[in-house]
Amino acid sequence: MSSRTRVVVFGVAASGFAALLLWGFVGLPDFGHYRGPYGLILNKTVVSARHVTNVPTAVNFDYRAIDTLGEEFILLSGAVGLALTLRSRREREERPPETPDRGLEHTSEALRIAGLALVGPLLVLGFYILAHGHLSPGGGFQGGVILASALLLACLAGEFATLRRGRPWLVMEAAGGLGAAGYAFLGLAGLLGASAYFADLVPLGPMGKITSGGTIPIANAPVALEVTAAFLIVWSELLDQALLVRRRR
């Protein structure tokens, strides 16, 4: 279709589609008047049933743990797929050179110092968030992203060449796979030790402490491992592409 025809046909289609959506949305309960049983029951029962104060975390890692399993693996296959897509045949055979790259050589001193200084605190924050996910907002995913961004900060501070020299692909891919497999294994442990896949194995601890929640806080660890690895794979592959382009110029 020519550009103009496409816009015209789309205009007609979109009006019809918008009308459909609006007609459907009219039947929705008023904004602010959620009535459904699912959320209300969970709000009432989760804290005492699981000794966990962050209800969405409980939903993600216990009640709807199999959804999270699926999502973990979406992340893993996406990261792995992206790495595969971006590493062309030639580039796969030759790893990027060891020499420092022209592109990142000229980071200012301020950026280097500030960046490197923040890496430590970010790592601590990341571990704190991931460990306390069942008590306050946070968890494996959030903590994992913070940990990954701590390492990204190190790259921005100009240490990309140093980091890459450590042959991280092996580690990252292994970590990603291990994290995902680890989470699935936790489910299997529930199957073998208790009565159902992802069922609770560990005794619920006292409320409000880090040991509460049974399997839920334990699940944060493999999840964080996998998320960190996946995001690092994604960022390092995309950064590699940018450097490749710069090197070619």
Partner 1 sequence: MNALVPLAVAIPIVAGAAVAATTTFHWRRPVEVVATTVAVCVTALAAALVVQSSGGWIVYWFANWRPHHNVALGIDFAVDPFGAGIAALAAFLVALSFVYGWHYFDELGQTLFHALTLIFLAAMVGFALTGDLFNLFVFFELATVPAIVLTGYMNEERGPLQGEMNFAVTNTLGAFLVLTGIGLLYARTGALNLAQIGEALAGKGTDGLVVTAFALLVAGFFVKAAVVPFHFWLADAYAVAPAPVCVLFSGIMSELGLYAVARVYWTSFSGAFGAHEEALRAVFLGAGVVTALVGAVMALQQRNLKRLLAFATIAHIGLFLMGIGLLDAKALAGAGVWVVGDGLVRGALFMCVGILVQRFGDVDDVDLRGLGRAVPFTGVLFVLGALALATLPPFGSFVGKALVEGAALDKGYTWVPAVILVVSALVGGAVLRAAGVVFLGLGAPVQEAGSRDEAEPEDEAGEPIGVERGRVPRFMLVSPALLLACALALGLLPDLSSWAFHAAQRFEDRAAYAAAVLHDTRPPSATLQHVGATWSDVLLSLGAVAGAFAVAATDLFRERVPAIFRSRAQRLRQVALGAATASHSGHVGDYVTWLTFGAAAFGAAFAFALS
Partner 2 sequence: MSFLPYAVVVWLFVVGLYGIVTSHNFVHLTVCLTVVQSSTYVLLLAVGYRDDATAPVFTALSTAHKAVDPVVHALTFIDVIVEAVVAALLLAIAVQVHKRFGTLDPDECHPMRG
**Which tokens is 74 given?**
């979406």
Q: Which of 127, 128, 197, 235 binds partner 1 (CB under 8 A)?
A: 197
Report what 234 binds from partner 1, partner 2, none; CB cut-off 5-8 Å by kind. partner 2
- CB burial class (10 A; 0-12, 13-18, 19+) of residue 76? buried
CA distances from 152 to 108, 147, 176 (A): 17, 9, 17
* Residues in region 88-107 near partner 2 by CB under 8 A: 88
CB 246 within 8 A of CB 102: yes
30, interface contact from partner 1, partner 2, none, CB < 5-8 Å by kind: partner 2
Q: Which stretch binds partner 2 (CB under 8 A): 21-29, 112-120, 123-131, 185-193?
A: 21-29
- Taking the complex as a whole, the smallest distance from the CB of residue 136 to partner 1 amounts, in Å, to 22
30 forms part of the interface with partner 1 (CB under 8 A): no
Residues 218-237 that bind partner 1 (CB under 8 A): none
Pair of tokens at residue 124: 């601590």
List the beta strands (DSSP E) in 137-221. none
Query: What part of residues 162-221 is at the interface with partner 2 (CB under 8 A)?
Result: 208
Give residues with Cβ within 8 angstroms of 79, minimum separation 6.
176, 229, 230, 231, 233, 234
> Can residue 4 be called a binding residue for partner 2 (CB under 8 A)?
no
196 is in the binding site of which of partner 2, partner 1, none (Cβ under 5 to 8 A by kind)? partner 1
Q: Calculate the alpha carbon distances from 3 to 16, 17, 212 in Å.
A: 20, 20, 59
How far apart, in whole angstroms, are the C-alpha atoms of residue 201 and residue 208?
19
Residue 54 interacting partner from partner 1, partner 2, none (CB closer than 5 to 8 Å by kind): partner 2
Q: Pick the piece of the chain touching partner 2 (CB under 8 A) from 63-71, 153-161, 195-203, 213-221.
A: 63-71
196: left (phi over 0), alpha (psi -120 to 50) or beta: beta
Closest CA to 228 of 143, 122, 120, 136: 143
Question: Amino acid letter at 92?
Answer: R
Query: Does the protein bind partner 1 through residue 121 (CB under 8 A)?
Result: no
Footprint on this chain of partner 2 (rule: CB under 8 A) = 3, 6-7, 10, 14, 17-18, 21-22, 25, 28, 30-34, 36, 38-40, 42-44, 46-48, 53-56, 58-60, 64, 67-68, 71, 74-75, 78-79, 81-82, 85-86, 88, 135-137, 141, 208, 234, 237-238, 241
